[in-house]
Amino acid sequence: MEIRLSLVLLALLLMCGAALSASHPRAVSDREGHDLAALGYLEDQAAHARGNLDVARRLATTYLRLGQPGLAIATVRAAPPELARDALLTHRLSQAYEASGRVEDALSTAQLALARCSGVGACTHATVATLETHVEALTMLQRWGVQEPRRDTRTALAYRLAQRTARIASLGVPPLSQD
């Protein structure tokens, strides 16, 4: 009886081992035609030049584009504190939180990114408009209780409404009163 049990367990272990060796590790895929060699180059640059803001921004953006928000979050968190205070890098962190389904974290981080643009000349008007639109959309998502922004159809509606508000504001038309 013990020999049979041992043989069954051995067979199960061999099957599991075979299944694991036949599978391939899942890596960042090149779904959108991005050159993975360029991604590797960016990763190398980020590792060797941790203080390079442009590289950190581009790497976080690339990870987001490839659907890897966890790697984008790790990239921003690994950045030196002086880089992490950058409004656009903070915005990438907010986008990564949103893509991960962390709407509350995304909203508070988007508000922080917008606050970092408060200094005179700290951000362009286009950047401020982008950040304001993102904060507005995230506010709606939070209010509506959206748990998975990537899958919820209300996400697209929130962004359309936020962009409409931004367009009206850029035209100088006062918003409708909510009274």
Question: CA 176 to CA 153: how far, in whole Å?
Answer: 25
Which tops the pLDDT comparison, 163 or 14? 163
pLDDT at res. 19: 56
The DSSP 8-state label assigned to residue 24 in this structure reads -
pLDDT at res. 179: 39
pLDDT at res. 3: 78
Which tops the pLDDT comparison, 15 or 84? 84
Q: Is residue 79 over pLDDT 70?
A: yes
Question: CA 136 to CA 178: how far, in whole Å?
Answer: 16
Burial of 74 (0-12, 13-18, 19+ CB in 10 A): middle
pLDDT in tens, 13-24: 666 555 554 444
Radius of gyration for the alpha carbons in the chain, expressed in angstroms and rounded: 22
pLDDT in tens, 17-69: 555 544 444 455 555 454 677 899 999 999 998 899 999 999 999 999 999 99
Question: CA 52 to CA 69: how far, in whole Å?
Answer: 20
Task: Please name the residue ranges forming H helices in the chain.
Answer: 2-22, 36-48, 53-65, 69-78, 81-84, 87-99, 103-115, 125-144, 154-170
Six-digit token pair at 152?
């919820």
Six-digit token pair at 51?
């203080």
pLDDT at res. 27: 52
pLDDT at res. 178: 44
Q: Is residue 145 over pLDDT 60?
A: yes
Amino acid occupying residue 88: L
pLDDT at res. 118: 83
Which range among 39-48, 103-112, 113-122, 162-171 shows the weakest confidence by mean pLDDT? 162-171
